[in-house]
Amino acid sequence: VRQRTEAPERRRGDLVDAALAIVADKGVTRLTVDEVVARAEVAKGTFYLYFRSKEQLITALQDRFVDDLTALQRAELDQIDAGDWLGRLLRWMESSLRGYLAHARLHDALFHHSQHGHEADPAVNSHAAVLVEILEAGTAAGDFALSTPRTAAVLLYNTMHGTAHYLVEQNEKNPDVVEAVIAESLDLCRRYVSGT
């Protein structure tokens, strides 16, 4: 039986590189340990010397992705004048959106397990469609100062959905916290639709 011995960090890096290439190509679900070890040119058992499970590998890739993006973004934020907080906020929002778009393929492959992604698209999500109706009617009635109600609906839907998910994830039992988050969400709605 042939055997090579490499520096452990390098072996691990080989496995990570192989996994990243496969995930980018076919997504998390269709990645197999067999393919990872074939690409990294190691035996199947070797994989389990470096990762506890396939799941842990995926988590490691996700963490690395977020860390890389955050590092890039911090560099961008440092270009803003100290003290210009609105400028920093706007830069944070814009560079986050652009960063995700730029790395869309990998991001989707890494995080988007199912194909049913709880889309904010009102065309397929009846829940979001209700929101579009409200925002369009309210804008037509002159109650809301929105230039594009449909886009506004996408934003607010995501604010709601992500925040609900966050509360669930935190397993938040404290009613005060829950109420505070809800109140703040309503505030965001009010301020946003009223314009400036």
In whole angstroms, give the CA distance from residue 70 to residue 64. 10
Contact 36, 15 (CB under 8 A): yes
Query: Cα separations (Å) of 35 from 12, 53, 100, 118?
Result: 15, 14, 27, 30
Task: Read off φ and ψ for residue 47, nearest 5 degrees.
Answer: -50, -40
Residues 18-77 that bind DNA (CB under 7 A): 31-34, 42-49, 53-55
Contact pick of 51, 54, 152, 174 for a copy of itself (by CB under 8 A): 152
Q: List the x/- string, 106-145, binding to a copy of itself by CB under 8 A.
A: -xx--xxxx-xxxxxx---xxx--xx--xx-xx--x-xx-
Given phi > 0 = left and psi -120 to 50 = alpha, else beta, which region is 166? alpha
Does 165 bind a copy of itself (CB under 8 A)? Our answer is: yes
Spatial CA neighbour of 49 closest among 32, 31, 64, 37: 37
Residues 6+ apart with CB under 8 A from 28: 58, 109, 110, 113
Does 75 bind a copy of itself (CB under 8 A)? Our answer is: no
- Nearer CB in complex with a copy of itself: 49/178: 178
- Nearer CB in complex with DNA: 3/174: 3
To a copy of itself, the closest distance from the beta carbon of 20 in angstroms equals 16
- Nearer CB in complex with DNA: 23/135: 23
Give Cα 17 to chain centroid, integer Å.
21
Does 68 bind a copy of itself (CB under 8 A)? Our answer is: no
To DNA, the closest distance from the beta carbon of 165 in angstroms equals 25
Instruction: Name the site residues for DNA (rule: CB under 7 A).
Output: 1-6, 8, 11, 31-34, 42-49, 53-55
